[in-house]
Amino acid sequence: MNDRLKNAFDKIQAEEQLKDSTKAFIYKKTRGYTRRKTAVYRRLIPAVACFLVIILGGYWLYFIPTVEISIDINPSIELGVNRFDKVVSVASYNSDGQELAASLDIKYLDYSEAVNQILTNENISELLSNDEVMTICVIGSDDEQSDRVLSEIESCTSEESNTYCYYADSDEVSHAHENGLSYGKYRAYLELQALDPTITAEDIQNMTMREIHDLIHSLSSDSNSAADSENDSEHEQIENGTGNMHGQSQAQDNGQWQGNNHGNGQGQGHGNGHGNRQ
Partner 1 sequence: MRSEQEVNRAIEQYSNMIRRLCMIYLKNYADTEDIFQTVFLKYVLSSVSFESQEHEKAWFIRVTINACKDLLKSFFRNRTVSLDEIIEQPSEMSTDDKEVLEAVLSLPQKYKDVVYLHYYEDYTAPQISRILGKNVNTIYTLLTRSKQLLREKLGGDGDE
The binding site for partner 1 (CB under 8 A) comprises: 1-15, 18-19, 21-23, 25-27, 29-30, 33, 35-37
Nearer to partner 1, 15 or 122 (CB): 15
Min. distance of Cβ 48 from partner 1 in angstroms?
A: 23
Nearer to partner 1, 14 or 226 (CB): 14
Q: How far is CA 59 from CA 64, 134, 195, 225, in A?
A: 7, 32, 42, 54
3-state secondary structure the chain: CHHHHHHHHHHCCCCHHHHHHHHHHHHHHCCCCCCCCCCHHHHHHHHHHHHHHHHHHHHHHHHCCCEEEEEECCCEEEEEECCCCEEEEEEECCHHHHHHHHHCCCCCCEHHHHHHHHHHCHHHHHHHHCCCCEEEEEEECCCHHHHHHHHHHHHHCCCCCCEEEEEEECCCCCCCHHHCCCHHHHHHHHHHHHHCCCCCHHHHHCCCHHHHHHHHHHHHHHHHCCCHHHHHHHHHHHHHHHCHHHHHHHHHHHHHHHHHHHHHHHHHHHHHHHHHHC
Nearer to partner 1, 21 or 248 (CB): 21
Min. distance of Cβ 23 from partner 1 in angstroms?
A: 6
Min. distance of Cβ 27 from partner 1 in angstroms?
A: 7
Give the other-Cβ count within 10 Å of 108's Cβ: 11
Nearer to partner 1, 21 or 268 (CB): 21
Min. distance of Cβ 31 from partner 1 in angstroms?
A: 11
Nearer to partner 1, 30 or 268 (CB): 30
Nearer to partner 1, 18 or 49 (CB): 18
Min. distance of Cβ 170 from partner 1 in angstroms?
A: 51
Nearer to partner 1, 9 or 41 (CB): 9
Nearer to partner 1, 11 or 270 (CB): 11
Contact yes or no for 233/205 (Cβ under 8 A):
no
Min. distance of Cβ 47 from partner 1 in angstroms?
A: 20
Min. distance of Cβ 13 from partner 1 in angstroms?
A: 5
Contacts of residue 133, defined as CB under 8 A and 6 or more positions apart, other chains included, come to 73, 162, 163, 164, 208, 209, 210, 213
